[in-house]
A and B are shown apart, each in its own frame.
Chain A
Amino acid sequence: MQFEPMYYDGELFLPKIELNMTSNQSIGIITDLKRKQLLMNQLVNHSQYYLFRAQQNEYMRLTVEELITFLINITERNDRVASLIDYFALKEERKVKIKDLSSSKRMYVTLLRVFFAHQPTLVLEEPYFYLEEQDRRHFKRILDDLSKEKQILILTSNFEDALISCDEIYRLNELGFHQLDIRDSEEDKQEVQEQDRANITLQKIYTKRNDKVILFNPPEIDFIESVDGSILVHVDGENYDCALTLTELEQRLLNFGFFRCHRSYIVNLQKVREIITWTKNSYSLRLNTGKDAVVPLSRSKLQELKALLNI
């Protein structure tokens, strides 16, 4: 799958992207609304891509059973309605009209359209956003089954949604298109142990989110803060839990240009834009991360910082 670069106001808004998609794999791209639209607008080939947009709505006055019958007939599949309804776990809602379903169920039923797509690649915009926990599970199961034969691309602005069913996750923003390092927790523990045994210093910072371990390269990190005893690693406006203590992190990150600017803050000096003087004895650091992030700077650390930066 290939996307052409797009310029907006003379600046590169969408870099050239090439995705090597194999089947049995689903890819997630975390990006904002505008970039989502631009990406989807490039996928115009209806014989190649099935596009599910977030605004997709459904025939409100049909019952669930009638809708599925319609979808089977229109796509000329040979499935039986009853067995599909079982597979979708919609037996209880069989006779309910779409408009009378709960909003989560209605979205779930609407999402079933992708099941009937004949295109080799399915592109879904925000599939999990409106779903409740149970419907998420059902839909994840269906997507997992679909991904055995098809390539699936999920576009979302929510990292957690991408984690639900993606094998590879990319982040697309003004900094470009980068792959996030996610692995299943169990795999990862083994690797960490092996690395310890080989006595290799770990260069990645591992954090947890939703039982998945996410590894960050130190330069990606904006700053790290300690809140009520738990350590939060801030990356691009979102935060991730980390099991290490600030002191451990400080040692580990010293060589990457990080600086303990406060009792409960470590900041990536590469991202510091401005030293703000509030009063004579109180200071802050403003970061150039796009989202206006400000980190406190202790008075006692100011001299150390000035020495580091040769001011």
Chain B
Amino acid sequence: MSISLKRAHAIFVKDYKEFSRNYALSIMLIFPIILALLLRAADAASSLPGSFATVLNLSFVFLTCFVQACLIAEEKERNTLRSLMMTPATTMDVLIGKSTLVFVMSVVVLAIATYLFGYEPASIWAFVAATILSIILYTAVGTICGLFSKTLLDASLSIIPVTIVFSGAPWGAFLVEDYPIFKVLDYMPSSQLVHLLGLPPTDFTTGELLNPLLIILAWTVVLTIVSVVLYQRRLKDE
């Protein structure tokens, strides 16, 4: 499958213009910033554990995943995706163009949110790697949501289960004592992110650092492959 940067770039520019003029969608850009400011205030008052991880986990779903799902669902709703399939643009061109836009926006906004929150990671490299992997992961989840929705409305609703499963997973830890089955939730990428970000800045082992990273990497690889395969298969049915 050939990938053309020119075509991916055309999709990137087109989606950027569509996104920036769709205020219902682009307002999501300020969501992580507001959340960071709110939780910073809460953190200063009671010093909750893992509050910055909560900012990230919610932002991934409401910015990265939601925007990607809406971009794809809107194209499906207007039958423009089907039309794109008949141009020389390949599946990868379309996915790369869209994902790059979502990726760039997420990175910029989350960098601002991190700065405003004033979070200092145990290891800056592990933090950056985990964030970038998570953005890719949630973009893949967004692609899957977009593929299963026919309209923008469907896409907006499909975000709700994602929020519960991914953003809600770290809170599942509170239930573990009563129901041991919820231990599974500890392997969710969001829970691993909480562990990683909760490491004390001075004393940690490499194993503590690598373990969450590897689990997040595994999730990212699996979900990315699933989303690409699903994308190709769903579009053939249309």
Contacts and interface: CB of A to CB of B under 8 A. Distances in A.
> Are A and B part of the same complex?
yes
Interface of A: 46, 50-51, 53, 55-62, 66, 70, 73-76, 97, 113, 116-119
A17 to B, nearest CB: 22
Interface of B: 4, 6-7, 9-11, 13-14, 17-18, 21-22, 77-80, 82-89
B89 A51 contact: no
Contacts of B14: 59, 62, 66, 70
A76 B85 contact: no
A160 to B, nearest CB: 26
B86 A55 contact: no
Contacts of A97: 21
B6 A73 contact: yes
A61 B84 contact: no
A57 B78 contact: yes
A74 B18 contact: no
A92 B18 CA distance: 22
A50 B86 contact: yes
Nearest to A66: B17
Given A50-B86, A59-B18, A117-B86, A70 B10 contact: yes
Contacts of A117: 86-87
Q: 10 shortest A-B CB distances, which residue pairs?
A: A57-B78, A73-B10, A61-B21, A70-B14, A74-B10, A61-B18, A56-B79, A46-B86, A74-B87, A74-B89
Contact of B88 (A53, A55, A56, A75): A75
Contacts of A76: 4, 6-7, 88
Nearest to A54: B79
A118 B7 CA distance: 15
Given A58-B78, A73-B10, A117-B87, 18 more contacts: A46-B85, A53-B79, A53-B82, A56-B79, A57-B77, A58-B80, A59-B80, A61-B22, A62-B17, A66-B17, A70-B10, A73-B6, A73-B9, A74-B7, A74-B84, A74-B87, A75-B87, A117-B86
14 contacts: A46-B85, A46-B86, A56-B78, A57-B79, A59-B78, A70-B14, A73-B6, A73-B10, A74-B84, A74-B87, A74-B88, A116-B87, A117-B86, A119-B86
A58 B6 CA distance: 21
